[in-house]
Amino acid sequence: MRRHLAHPFDDDRLKEECGVFGVIGVADAATFVALGLHALQHRGQEAGGIVAYDAAEGFNNAKRFGYVRDTFTKADVMATLPGSLAIGHVRYSTAGSKGATAIRDVQPFFGEFAIGGCAIAHNGNLTNAALLRQQLIERGAIFQSSSDSECIIHLMARSMQKTLSERIKDALRAVEGAFSVIAMTRTKLIGVRDPLGVRPLVLGRIGEGYALSSETCALDIIGAEFLREIEPGEMVVIEGGTVHSSHPFAPAKPRFCIFEHVYFSRPDSILGGRSVYETRRQIGVELAREAPVEADLVCPVPDSGTPAAIGYAHESGIPFGMGIIRNQYVGRTFIEPTEQIRNMGVRLKLNVNRALISGKRVILVDDSVVRGTTSRKIKDMILDAGAAEVHFRIASPPTAWPCFYGVDTPDRDKLLAARMSEDEMREWIGVDSLRFISLDGLYRAAGEAKGRDKTCPQYCDACFSGDYPVAPADQIANGFTMKAAE
């Protein structure tokens, strides 16, 4: 029985797709993968898995629900994963069962082909997975999971290429959407990024071996040297201490997910040569320029709003203070969420620093507004603590469109910004003012001095703009209406 229960306010946050990590050329590779997955835990808290290869014992895997620290730190589990080559995955379901994950849905997925075994782990979402799945089943494929990522294994099985690396290329040429994939054979560690580079993937070196990771912060934890990002549309095959690079897809203008800068990635990671922390701090600077207001205190909504709040305070000259304190020890397995507990809402996780807040005009800086329910509860807590005024400043533009590239976003009719104007949202939340950073301001904070190029956007910002770089074929087939061309 699964014990991992969402908090009453978890559905008012965008969920951090998944994280992948792999190592080759080091003793006890699975231990390094477990450490890497621990550093990537913010990208998926639902479940994790590791596959390792040892010449004497072959491929072995372990998959568990829950946090990495609760499962892959146990000696008896790690003893089942010997070898100098391993890959792993942390999951937050974004397709298929969503919230009702079975252990068979947990990656990495493994396939035994006539030419050898191969395991894959996928961060992202395939936008034509339903169509592919239907076609594959009609041709005799038997699926074991509800995950879109399993399509890749079945496509590999149908490829006539003579090496697993070439079969991976064949399979990924048939899929659409976002994918950062790591894979392993008996001798190779493989990394591939989709042509748009929507999701991150980086390469590091550890001793005589190499590592692939969703973020640089996971390289840090194992003492690996960050070498470079895998380029959009690039495939690297690491074998025998050598990295072989190719570009198997048609070239395309990169569209990296800008929300990785806003929220998903850890602030101590590097994306596109930029510090995530510094980008978030600069978002606060831009917000202060675009949306000034007279106030006494700038407070972050922990933890993701903190760098932007620091930037806002520095630029505005208004003092920064921790007006809300986060309880670090409330996990997803805390207690059964009875109706009484549900009514406590965010108070389980956040508490107001009354001595600091009382009588003050407070600016609250948060990363996003999704459904808006959490914002209302936090506003109530601040007012209950005696605040004179409450002003919200949001470190992203209004989230008005769902993401189909690997983020668990509510349906569009449940997104507050899809139903209300900014003034209507301010009134519904019940604050003295509410302002979001502009899309151009966000781009400037991310290093684009001239803002967003409307004719050819530098990032994927579909959740804000409705401009989808890859048409979500499965969603359109189910009735989703794309934004009309302007």
φ, ψ of residue 425 to 5 degrees: the values are -65, -40
Q: What is the pLDDT of residue 156?
A: 97
Summarised one tens digit per residue, pLDDT across range 139-191 is 999 999 999 999 999 999 999 999 999 999 999 999 999 999 999 999 999 99
Residues 298 and 291 sit within 8 Å (Cβ to Cβ): no
pLDDT number for residue 92:
81
What pLDDT sits at residue 407?
85
* Lowest-pLDDT choice from 75-79, 246-250, 337-341, 473-477: 337-341
For 6, which DSSP code? P
As beta bridge partners, residue 433 has 391
* Ranges 14-23, 76-85, 386-395: which has the least confidence: 14-23
Alpha helices, H only, 229-326: 259, 276-290, 306-316
Q: How sure is the predictor about 279, in pLDDT bands with cuts at 50, 70 and 90?
A: very high
Q: What pLDDT, on the 0 to 100 scale, is given for residue 345? A: 58
- Residue 144 neighbours by CB distance under 10 Å: 11
* Cα(40)–Cα(33) distance, integer angstroms: 10
CA nearest neighbour of 441 among 334, 297, 292: 292
Contact indicator for 247, 235 with CB cutoff of 8 Å = yes
299 catalytic per annotation: no
Residue of 419, 399, 373, 142 whose CA lies nearest to 262: 399
pLDDT of residue 4: 34
Q: Helix-strand-coil percent breakdown of the chain, rounded to 5?
A: 30, 25, 45
Q: What pLDDT band is residue 304 in, cutting at 50, 70 and 90? A: confident
CB under 8 Å to 187, separation ≥6 — which residues? 85, 239, 240
- Identify the helix (H) or strand (E) that includes residue 119: strand 116-126
pLDDT in tens, 14-47: 655 799 999 999 999 999 999 999 999 999 999 9
What is residue 21's three-state secondary structure?
A: strand
Catalytic residue among 18, 151, 460, 463: 18
Q: How far apart are CA 65 and CA 452, in angstroms?
A: 40
pLDDT band at 327 (very low <50, low <70, confident <90, very high): confident
- C-alpha to C-alpha distance for 23 and 437, rounded to whole angstroms: 39
Strands 361-366 and 350-352: unpaired
Tens-place pLDDT, residues 432-444? 999 999 999 999 9
Inform me whether the pLDDT recorded for 8 exceeds 50. no
Q: What is the pLDDT of residue 350?
A: 85
With beta carbons less than 8 A apart as the criterion, state whether 5 and 332 touch.
yes
Residue 393 pLDDT exceeds 50: yes
Residue from 450, 467, 343 nearest 397 by CA: 467
Tokens 């894959």: give the residue: 120
- 96-130 pLDDT per residue, tens: 444 456 899 999 999 999 999 999 999 999 999 99
pLDDT tens per residue, range 401-419: 999 998 878 889 999 999 9
In 3D space, the residue among 159, 78, 79 whose CA is nearest the CA of residue 115 turns out to be 159
Express as a percent the part of the chain with pLDDT over 90.
85
In this prediction, residue 348 carries a pLDDT of 72
